[in-house]
Amino acid sequence: MPRRTGAPPDPPARLSLISRHLAPDFALNTPYTVERLPSTIDTALLPKTQTRKMSSQPPHPTLLIPGPIEFDDAVLQSMSHYSESHVGPAFVATFGETLSMLRKLFQTSDLASQPFILSGSGTLGWDLVASNLIEAGEDVLVLGSGYFSDGLADCLKVYGANVTELKAPPGQKPQLPEIEKALSQKRYKAITVTHVDTSTGVLSELKDLSALVHKVSPDTLILVDGVCSVACEEIDFDGWKLDGVVTASQKAIGCPAGLSISMFSGRAMEAFKNRQTPPASYFASMKNWTHIMQNYEAKKPSYFATPSPQLIHALHTALTQILARPLSERFTLHKAASDRIKKAVADLGLKQVAGNPDEQAHGMTAIYLPESVKQTDILPNLAKKNVVFAGGIHKEIATKYIRFGHMGVSVLDPRRGDVERAIQALQDGLAECGYQKA
Amino acid sequence: MPRRTGAPPDPPARLSLISRHLAPDFALNTPYTVERLPSTIDTALLPKTQTRKMSSQPPHPTLLIPGPIEFDDAVLQSMSHYSESHVGPAFVATFGETLSMLRKLFQTSDLASQPFILSGSGTLGWDLVASNLIEAGEDVLVLGSGYFSDGLADCLKVYGANVTELKAPPGQKPQLPEIEKALSQKRYKAITVTHVDTSTGVLSELKDLSALVHKVSPDTLILVDGVCSVACEEIDFDGWKLDGVVTASQKAIGCPAGLSISMFSGRAMEAFKNRQTPPASYFASMKNWTHIMQNYEAKKPSYFATPSPQLIHALHTALTQILARPLSERFTLHKAASDRIKKAVADLGLKQVAGNPDEQAHGMTAIYLPESVKQTDILPNLAKKNVVFAGGIHKEIATKYIRFGHMGVSVLDPRRGDVERAIQALQDGLAECGYQKA
């Protein structure tokens, strides 16, 4: 990540850096920080290398799976925030700021857009969509690009949606002409797209897709599974006229797992309000949560179910760090790392599961193994080299490929050397497993 | 909490204590601990006062609301565990041990009992019950003792249950004769009881209730909301023949919020398997989670949705601490603290919302304010004294009372002095608000 050059940090910032070194446990979102770090200080000024030396993280294998990912120290330290009332002014302010920061992350300035943060896995976002925005019997077109699109279709069916799946073979995605054809055959309440299917690393393009939907079927809601894309792939929520993006805390956002994070358009919220039937879930019901989120963002205490203050603090820290730099820079850095990795994979003579270069995610790479190398040999070999990759998960090809996640600090902080170390480990590991490039 | 007297810790235990002091950040569940703390060491031997001196928690107001509660340092430090794969052997072992420890916490040795730990608020446990154990149109008898019984009834209705509510006035609970009468009038699939209604501090007795249900309506499942009771009130899951207890991480268990924790009997799991219709939710579906929990407990990697490794580590630490002492001692200590608090409240001339001494929770006290004292005066007054109580939440009386939570370390570690400080603050605060005992 390019360092800011030119003028050194101003005196208050320098002072805060020193105080951090004296009390490395008290990072962002601790009361000590509130005293020591004025909110105007650019956290990007904090010296990463020194922070790492002071790290509370013991040496451990580098986690390079497509989520959870490696954590920044300050994010992880925020997880140890002392206990607070979930309706006390300090926590309400933190939660409110976190919701407001989500608007910037999703690039929406439309005040009708509504963010949600719920305790839960990313999967809970599917329930949020399926039980609030769709009513039983309504038609939904699901663009199928892998395991996770299948899961979303299953979830929609549980809540009674009439699902039409447009499924592509492993490593591919449905193309615009067939989508246009499907949209012209039936009036769909919504279309869903998995921005990056974590099972295959296939990236779905959103801008042209949305333009097509708005042209062919303008009333159809455009709902995006952004679990493996938010914060590493560009998402222009307003500009692309999206109606919903659901994601999770533990991927490119770089926060520990445990939060379902989402943004819905004013149009989606209207669709919810205009339901003929009550929402089909309780804990994931927008009826229960919408006014709570609005109250939190207005810094008013409010209660439906107890949020996780520690996870919200960690998310607050992660979003503060993300928004301290231009988002475009973040996306560019993810793309650059992805390009390096994909070139290295090609140089090894290996193929990606996502075959088309225009359809390859920038936060992960799914790599077909050579026929002579088993997943059960290479993954433990890499683990011995302190690099943790993931196995395959797409049911048709699960044993034939491995997945390399490259999101967040592993990509943004070049001093870590995570990407280069992983590429080297992959090269060495494959050779040790007997593979030679043909 | 009584200290273990007699022989001092054996040499390995003493060594581990020393090493903890040298590296206070690396507590239970960090790899350093794995190296330094053999699993046979009784964590109760760890010196609380010294741990507190080395605390990573800065000075902060003492949180004495009925959840979240104050955290033990080691539990909070476990929240900062470095990133791990949710399907890697280390985390799978931790998750599996945590599930097994839940069996001990709930006092069930029946292998057919099934524990669940899901990312979510405690409220998600209601969805788990309502969408898996009840089918649309089935009758459920809800014993109403406050705000949270009402919420559970709402949740059951969302998933189609035909709910009969037996509601008591604020501060009371339905009594056995009327419950027997209700059970004899209709065949209920399940009866639900809120063990401690956090809105009123009303404690419901479970043993006699269960005996009654088994006598009068033996096929009826007995489902308990134990959010504010598990780990501070006795729950003999097997002995009392309960079918389900749902709880949350942030109350007497003493872990940060963010986990829905539950235990179901073999009979409940059979009822689930015998459903005529599919489960009515997706993220909370036992169809999706049961084999995952079973695999985790068997130390086999398994995936449906990504759990929160950090929260699971914290829960592991909390349960390790809880189970290091007899559960009966824990309940006795909670009762003793509760008795002290309730006596102090009576000495102040104040009444509890829960009027009947046999129906008063031992982990919280809901206190009616004198007519001359407003909630909006006394709560900020207490906050200035660094004691955080909660306001009322039962809609009929919300502004007329305050809630004092006394669970976990605030009760178990007398060196903290939390209870005495809170009683003193209440006495002083009421006087400063102009109250004099009549």
For A247-267, the pLDDT digits (tens) are 999 999 999 999 999 999 999
Answer yes or no: do A257 and B310 touch at CB < 8 A: yes
Is it the case that residue B257 has pLDDT exceeding 70? yes
In sign, the C-alpha dihedral spanning A168, A174, A175, A179 is positive
Between residues B433 and B1, which one has the greater pLDDT? Answer: B433
B60, A67: Cβ pair inside 8 Å? no
Count Cβ–Cβ pairs < 8 Å, chain A vs chain B.
207
CB atoms inside a 10 Å sphere around CB A148: 24
Per-residue pLDDT tens over the stretch A43-68: 343 334 333 445 669 999 999 999 99
Which two structure tokens, joined as six digits, stand for B198? 């956090």
- The closest CB to that of B83, out of A69, A159, A281, belongs to A69
Question: Cα separation of B213 and B221, whole Å?
Answer: 9
pLDDT of residue B55: 66
B403 is in an annotated binding site: yes
The Cα-based distances of B330 to B316, B322, B409 in angstroms read 18, 8, 11
* Residues annotated within a binding site of A: 403
Nearest to A337 by CA among A329, A327, A348: A329
Query: What pLDDT band is residue B28 in, cutting at 50, 70 and 90?
Result: very low
Per the CB < 8 Å rule, is B124 touching A119? Answer: yes
* Average pLDDT over every residue of A93-108: 98
The pLDDT of residue A55 is: 66
Q: How confident is the model at residue B438 (pLDDT cuts 50, 70, 90)?
A: confident
> Does pLDDT of A2 surpass 70?
no
Mean pLDDT for chain A? 89
Query: Angle formed by the axes of helices A327-347 and A309-323, to 10°?
Result: 90
pLDDT band of residue A79 (cuts 50, 70, 90) is: very high
Facing residue for B83 by CB, picked from A71, A80, A280: A71
Q: Where are the alpha helices (DSSP H) in B54-144?
A: 73-78, 89-105, 124-132
Task: Please name the residue ranges forming H helices in A59-206.
Answer: 73-78, 89-105, 124-132, 147-158, 176-185
Cβ(A122)–Cβ(B305) under 8 Å? Answer: yes
Separation in Å, CA of A415 to nearest CA in chain B: 18
Contacts of A287 in chain B (CB under 8 A): none
Shortest Cα distance, chain A CAs vs residue B212, angstroms: 30
> What digits encode the pLDDT tens for the residues B386-396?
999 999 999 99
Choose the closest CB to A83 out of B32, B70, B248. B70
From chain B, pick out residues whose CB is under 8 angstroms from the CB of A127. 281-284
CB contact under 8 A, A257 and B308: yes
Question: What value does the mean pLDDT take over residues B195-208?
Answer: 97
Res B56 pLDDT > 50: yes
Model pTM? 0.89
Q: What residues of chain A lie within 8 A of the CB of B303, using their CB?
A: 393
**CA gap B153, B141 in Å, rounded:** 9
Residues of B in contact with A25 (CB under 8 A): 25, 56
Long-range contacts of B410-417 (CB under 8 A, 24+ apart): B410/B62, B410/B64, B410/B69, B410/B70, B411/B232, B411/B333, B411/B334, B411/B337, B411/B363, B412/B1, B412/B330, B412/B333, B413/B1, B413/B48, B414/B1, B415/B48, B415/B49, B415/B52, B416/B52, B416/B62, B416/B70
pLDDT digits (tens, 9 = 90+) for B125-152: 999 999 999 999 999 999 999 999 999 9
Cβ pair A121:B123 closer than 8 A: no
What pLDDT, on the 0 to 100 scale, is given for residue B22? 31
